[in-house]
Structure formats: C-alpha cells, structure tokens
A = this chain, B = another copy of it.
Amino acid sequence: MSQTAASGVRPIKYAMVGGGQGAFIGAVHRAAARLDGRWELVAGAFSSTPERSRASGAELGLDASRCYGTWQEMLTGERALPEGTRAEAVVIVTPNHTHYSIAKGCLQHGFHVICDKPLVATVEEAQRLVEAAEKSGLVFAVTYNYTGYPMIRKARELVHTGAIGPVRKVFVEYHQGWLATDLEAAGQKQASWRSDPAKSGGGGSIGDIGTHAENLLSFVTGLEITSLAAELTSFVPGRRVDDDATIMLRMTKGARAVITVSQICVGERNNLTLRVHGETGSLFWQQERPEELTVCKLSGERLILSRGDDHGPIAAAATRLPSGHPEGFLEAFGNLYRGAAEAVLARKAGTPAAAESPAALVPGARDGLRGVQFVDACLRSADANAGWVSLDGE
C-alpha cells in the first residue's frame, strides 16, 4: 500500500449534492474519496428537504450547520466560510436532469466539480458546460469510474504504444439483468428515475450504462466515433425508455465497433466486457474479473497479465495491493478521486499534469459531452430505423 502515501498533504475539503440516506452511488463516492485519505467531506445538500439533508449529514458525522436544504444555499453558505474551512470542491450525485444547473452553479461560485455520469440531459447543456468548465480554470471530473481500473489503464497504454497494432474491431458489452422485470412499477427508487425519460435524459439503458461502454471504448482506443447505427428496444411492457440496445459504430482510422447494452439479461450482474482487436494483437478484459488483462498475439500466444505485477508506472500508480490480493470496484473508483485530488493540487500549484499522470487520466467535461452526444445519436438513429447518423448531428 506504499503508493497510497497520503503523505502529509492535507485532505481536500468537499461538499456533496445528493447522496442522502438510501442512495447507493453517494455512499460509493464517499468511500472512494475516503480510500486514500485525500478528501474530507465537510458539507452537503443531501436531500431535497432540509430535515432529511440534516439527518443524512448527522449520520455522516457532519455538523448541522454544514447540512443544507438546497445546493444553492450550500454554495452560498460554503463560500461565506473562511478558506481552510470551506469546501473547495463539490461532488454531484443527483439524478441526471439536475446536473446541469448544479454544475454550472458550482463553477460560477468557484468550486471544483466532480460530477456523476451521464453529464447532463442534452447536447446543448453539455456543450455549454464544457465551455464554462474550460473558462473557469477549475477541475471538472466526470466519474466514468471504470477507467480507474489499473488493467484498463494498462490496456489503454498497450493500444497507444502500438502493442497490438492499429485497432480494427472493438466489442464492448455492458449487460445487466436487474431491470428484467418491471421494478419501476414496484416503486424501486433506482429503477424509477432511470426509467423516467424526463429525469434520465431520454435514454434508458443507453444513458445509464451505454455511456460507460462508449467511454471505455473511447478511453482505451483513443479513436473518435464518426457515425453509428442503433437499435433500441424496451422489452418490459410499460417501460418508457430502452432497456436494451445494440449499436454499430464507425470510428476514425477505419476501425469498427459494436456496443451491446442491456438491463434485461437475466443472470448478468454488471458484466462490462471489452475486447480490442488490432492488426497484430488483441486485448480482453472483464469488469467482474478486473485483475486480469489477456493479451493475444498473432503468433497464437495468449498471455494473462495480473494487476499488481510489474506493468509500468501507469498501472502501478493505480494500484494499492500486491497481485493476488484482489482489488475491485472501490479501488478503481478511488483512482478517479486520487486523480482528481492531484488535479486540484496541480491547479493550485500552477503545474499542469503530466500526460499519463492519474490527474490527466480522469475523464473531464469533454468526455461527458461525448457521452451525451452518443446517447443523442443513438436516439436519432433508432428513430431513423437504424440509419447511420453522425455523432455530432451534422
């Protein structure tokens, strides 16, 4: 665990919007932030009512004065506190359709932002946010957490250094089964807002998990999506958004990709799988067995790389335990928080992050925009009966 090395640096103070009692992803963000001791939760607008916000904050050991009823109050309240006491960054873990206003407010008030995905509900909002973020000089991270896995970063490095030759075909699948029945009708909270087009942003599975698949594809290959053709399906009667999608993609440099996304695959849990086939080699990785990266060569050689062995500085910087001591989802998520902390320190110090530093590997507003464009293009293509559409709608 020597890499953990919080090393005498004071933790960065942050506030959270959303993530109150009963929320899943907020707790994950807090645990990920706590993992390396580099972040400290000091305030929050956890729920839509002041009482519930305070109750959540109390459980988290926060002073009642730092538990706000709205994110607006929170931004104002924190800003009024002296430096060294007030939050410097805001973590946004509310339903998608609220991200835009909150994130914009944070930037306007000078807070760094860590925002859950998908970034916002429309391409226009996303573009405005990119502009705002870039003008602000603040850190803007989007928690595409699967990029935090060490072996995904190794895969990216192998592609970028030519280890498998030019990329030809990529398969990304993200299959879950938890929406195989009509959970939203039963009032399940996670299911409800995700399947409400007004809150999710139009896409169902395509927004919720399809954006992760798109991000992994883009992160690892470094290629751009030029056009795509999609079929979206709602299998569960009464569901108002897609719960299944197949997308064929054309990418720069002649590469092709297929993304399949589903939330009705009984028996699947969180099966995000990546296969990258290049001219001279291939890579294979599964989120549910994240410790291994398989590398195949034209010669027929099939090599298993284990997380924690010596795979160079990029993977090492994302690693906490020796090989054979399983790391998982939380550590990967924590790597985004580790990177975001470095990015904040670098901004303060005025030192740009090195190209392959943890800070540079944290997805930002442009990655968030691309995800929103991806969802938008899928919806346009499906409307056009799977016709090919460009990513940027032009």
Question: Residues of B contacting A60 with CB < 8 Å?
Answer: 6, 8
Whether the Cβ atoms of B235 and A180 lie closer than 8 Å is no
Whether the Cβ atoms of B59 and A248 lie closer than 8 Å is no
Question: Residues of B contacting A35 with CB < 8 Å?
Answer: 31, 34-35
Task: Choose the segment among A73-81, A130-138, A293-301, A366-374 that binds chain B (4+ C-beta atoms closer than 8 Å).
Answer: A293-301
Q: How far is the CA of A304 from the CA of B256 in the complex (A)?
A: 28
Whether the Cβ atoms of B244 and A266 lie closer than 8 Å is no
| A7 contacts partner chain B, Cβ-Cβ < 8 Å | yes
Whether the Cβ atoms of A7 and B277 lie closer than 8 Å is no
| A323 contacts partner chain B, Cβ-Cβ < 8 Å | yes
Question: Residues of B contacting A294 with CB < 8 Å?
Answer: 267
Residues of A297-344 at the interface with B, using a CB-CB cut-off of 8 Å, are 297-298, 300-306, 308-310, 320-331
| A88 contacts partner chain B, Cβ-Cβ < 8 Å | no
| A2 contacts partner chain B, Cβ-Cβ < 8 Å | yes
From known contacts A34-B34, A289-B289, infer whether A267 and B328 are also in contact, taking CB-CB under 8 Å.
no
Task: Choose the segment among A97-105, A153-161, A384-392 that binds chain B (4+ C-beta atoms closer than 8 Å).
Answer: A384-392
The majority secondary structure among interface residues of chain A is: loop
Question: Residues of B contacting A171 with CB < 8 Å?
Answer: 173, 260
Question: Residues of B contacting A2 with CB < 8 Å?
Answer: 22, 24, 27
Chain B residue, CB-CB nearest to A289: B289
- CB-CB contacts of A33-53 with B at 8 A, as 1s and 0s? 011010000000000000000
- CB-CB contacts of A250-278 with B at 8 A, as 1s and 0s? 00001010101010111111110001011
From known contacts A1-B28, A244-B256, A324-B176, infer whether A308 and B266 are also in contact, taking CB-CB under 8 Å.
no
**Copies of this chain held together in the complex:** 4
From known contacts A5-B59, A258-B246, A325-B329, infer whether A169 and B300 are also in contact, taking CB-CB under 8 Å.
no
Among B164, B260, B279, B331, point to the contact of A330 (Cβ < 8 A): B331
| A127 contacts partner chain B, Cβ-Cβ < 8 Å | no
| A147 contacts partner chain B, Cβ-Cβ < 8 Å | no
Whether the Cβ atoms of A282 and B267 lie closer than 8 Å is yes
Q: How far is the CA of A58 from the CA of B297 in the complex (A)?
A: 40
From known contacts A24-B1, A277-B265, infer whether A321 and B326 are also in contact, taking CB-CB under 8 Å.
no
| A70 contacts partner chain B, Cβ-Cβ < 8 Å | no
Whether the Cβ atoms of A264 and B277 lie closer than 8 Å is yes
Whether the Cβ atoms of B256 and A233 lie closer than 8 Å is yes
Question: Residues of B contacting A385 with CB < 8 Å?
Answer: 387-388
Question: Residues of B contacting A218 with CB < 8 Å?
Answer: none
| A226 contacts partner chain B, Cβ-Cβ < 8 Å | no
- CB-CB contacts of A150-193 with B at 8 A, as 1s and 0s? 00000000000000100011010100110011000000000000
30 residue pairs from A and B, CB less than 8 Å apart? A1-B24, A1-B30, A2-B22, A4-B31, A6-B60, A6-B61, A28-B321, A168-B244, A169-B235, A169-B265, A177-B282, A229-B231, A231-B256, A264-B277, A267-B284, A269-B323, A270-B322, A288-B291, A289-B289, A300-B323, A301-B303, A302-B304, A304-B304, A321-B330, A325-B328, A326-B329, A327-B330, A328-B328, A385-B387, A386-B388
Supplied contacts A265-B275, A270-B323, A300-B310, 10 more A-B pairs, CB within 8 Å: A1-B24, A6-B60, A168-B264, A231-B256, A267-B282, A267-B284, A302-B303, A321-B330, A328-B331, A387-B387
